[in-house]
Amino acid sequence: MTNQEFPQVSVLFVTYKRFELLKATVESFIRNTDYPNLQLVIADDGSGPEIQSQIRALPANDFSLPAKNRGLGANNNSGLKLCTGKYILMIQDDWACHGPSDYLRQTVSVMEANPTVGIINFASVLHPPDLSRRLPGSTEPCYVTPKPYEDGRKEYFLYADQPHIRSRAALDYVGPYIEDRDMEKCEIDYNHRWKDQTKFLTAVFPGYHLKVFSNEGVANQMSFRTGRFRYKVAAALQPLKPFLQKYANPLFVAGKASVQGTLKLLEKMRIVR
């Protein structure tokens, strides 16, 4: 088959002030992916001219490099506007790709054979696959995941910002991300919109889950979340939490609300991120 016979996959790398991790992510993807029709897009969230000049030297086709930091939702949207492929593979800048080299061929083959599949996840929590609903199109088994994983402690979602591939049709149907500087608000909003729609299915290759991609940011203590100021504050206050909840819960509740309000104000004023 010629390259034109393979539907184009746009690979969107989302980044902010982590050039070395981004460089390793892009290089590992190119090294371990043999799909023949790719568009590589890098969307940076205003990391500054020095970092952005380095980003421009990376082997990508298109770049979104705004001067100002506008938050995750705006960064995702600006990158997605450059994506021209029938499918969009989203990868944050701290995920190394390991292959097997044909994983993307297998994935696209499944999505071509099953147009109602809107997302195939490669990471996040492993949602239980319905083993009676194996999807045709690949030699590697792929299954529908009709319900999110549950453990009774928190709400999990079928959509996650960790490495996944989406069809253009599903992306257009659900719509863009909200452009709010609060990362969690942006993600939760999209989680709920994906949860509430019924037109497109979510699926997984159990054999690829957390194997094709592995997270390098946490190991380097540079993940988007662990690197944020609010999480550093939470980690510093964590030792006090059990004592206050047990012996002074009203103080704990009031203090938590005060700290969260202050942090949101500082983030809104762009004093911290």
Q: DSSP states of 72-127 as a string? A: HHHHHHHHHHH--SSEEEEEETTEEE---TTHHHHHHHHHHH-TTEEEEESSSS-P
- For residue 218 the two structure tokens come to 């946490």
3-state secondary structure of 155: coil
Q: Residue 226 pLDDT more than 50?
A: no
Same domain? For 151 and 56 the reply is yes
Query: Using CA atoms, how far apart are residues 93 and 21, in angstroms rounded to an integer?
Result: 6
Last residue of a domain, one of 172, 192, 215: 215
Could you list the residue range(s) of the whole structural domain that residue 102 is in?
3-215
- Coil vs helix vs strand at 20: helix
Do 10 and 123 belong together in one domain?
Answer: yes
* Shared-domain flag, residues 61 and 192: yes
Lowest mean pLDDT among 119-128, 146-155, 162-171, 252-261: 252-261
- When the pLDDT of each residue in the chain is averaged and rounded to a whole number, the result is 90
Say what the pLDDT of residue 200 is. Answer: 98
Q: Which H or E run includes 195?
A: helix 183-196
- pLDDT tens digits, 82-118: 999 999 999 999 999 999 999 999 999 999 999 999 9
pTM of the model: 0.81
- Whether 273 maps to a domain, the answer reads no
Reported as a single tens digit per residue, the pLDDT across 233-269 is 765 776 776 777 777 778 877 887 787 778 667 766 6
Reported as a pLDDT band with limits 50, 70 and 90, residue 139 is: very high
Domain count for the chain, please give it.
2
Sign of CA dihedral 208, 212, 216, 219: positive
CA distance 191 to 155: 10
Strand ranges in the chain using DSSP code E only, listed in sequence order: 9-15, 38-44, 62-64, 87-92, 95-97, 117-121, 143-144, 164-167, 201-204, 213-215
pLDDT at residue 65 greater than cutoff 80: yes
Residue 222 located in a structural domain: no
Binned at pLDDT 50, 70 and 90, residue 1 comes out as very low
How far apart CA 272 and CA 72 sit, in angstroms, is 15
Which band of pLDDT confidence, cut at 50, 70 and 90, is reported for residue 154? confident
Does any domain span residue 224?
Answer: no
Give the pLDDT of residue 175.
Answer: 97
Is 247 in the same domain as 130?
Answer: no
* Confidence (pLDDT) at 232: 66
pLDDT at 197 over 70: yes
- Assigned token pair, 139: 């030699």
Which region among 46-55, 103-112, 159-168, 213-222 has the lowest average model confidence (pLDDT)? Answer: 213-222
Give a yes or no: residue 221 inside a domain.
Answer: no
pLDDT > 80? residue 181: no
pLDDT computed for residue 31 by the predictor = 98
* Residue closest to 214 by CA, chosen among 124, 96, 102: 96
At 271, the pLDDT band (50, 70, 90 cuts) reads: low
pLDDT at position 195, please?
96
Does some domain include residue 223?
no
- The dihedral of CA 121, 126, 127, 130: what is its sign? positive
Type of residue at 224: F
Residue 218 pLDDT more than 80? no
**Residues 85 and 178 both lie in one domain:** yes
CA 72 – CA 44 distance, rounded (Å): 10
